[in-house]
Each structure stands twice: as C-alpha cells, then as structure tokens.
Amino acid sequence: MAEPIAFDIALRGSVWVLTRDGQEVHAFSHVDRATHEAVRLARELEESGQPARVQVHAAEGKVIEVRLDPEPDRSDGPEGGDRSLV
C-alpha cells in the first residue's frame, strides 16, 4: 500500500499554514479554513485511490488527527447527548 499523502496544518506566527508532504500549499487566517481545504484535497486524492491523512498541530505539541469521513461518527455519550468525533 502506498504511503499516505500528509496534509499538516500548523500555526506560524499569526497564520495557519497548510503543507502537503512538507511543502507549503497555502496560509490561512483561520484554522477552520485550512482544515476544510486540507480535507477537500485529501478526499480528492482518496477518490483516485491515493491514501491521505490530515493533522492539525495545535498548541503545546498536541496533534489532532482529522477524520476524512463525509459523515461524522455520532454516538450517545454518557449523558445521553450526541457526541461528534473529529
């Protein structure tokens, strides 16, 4: 299986930078815009058979893996409310 294309989003100064396999793609003023674009690009690749992944590198070294599923997984949490997974 081919190595997945890596889309990473990280804060640099006051902008969120989207990279593809380490190469800068675009800078965004908001993380949600960068994430939307990364997921869109990753889904296009997956439709053509190329695996891809999206990660947001947040503050303090935390990494958030973004699911590429078109529908979020919803389940009843312990309090009975819906809970979406990122």
Give yes or no for residue 79 having a pLDDT over 80.
no
Q: State pTM to two decimals.
A: 0.79
How confident is the model at residue 83, as a pLDDT?
A: 43
Domain with 36 in it: 1-6+28-56
Asked if the structure places residue 50 within a domain, the reply is: yes
Domain count, the chain: 1
Looking at per-residue pLDDT, the higher value among 72 and 59 belongs to 59
Token pair listed for 8 = 């990473």
Asked if the structure places residue 81 within a domain, the reply is: no
Q: How many CB atoms lie within 10 A of CB 25?
A: 17
Task: Report the relative pairing of strands 23-28 and 74-76 from DSSP bridges.
Answer: unpaired
Residue 5 to residue 75: CA distance in whole angstroms: 29
Give yes or no for residue 57 having a pLDDT over 90.
yes
Contact 83, 75 (CB under 8 A): yes
C-alpha 72 chain-centroid distance: 13
Asked if the structure places residue 36 within a domain, the reply is: yes
Residue 59 to residue 85: CA distance in whole angstroms: 19
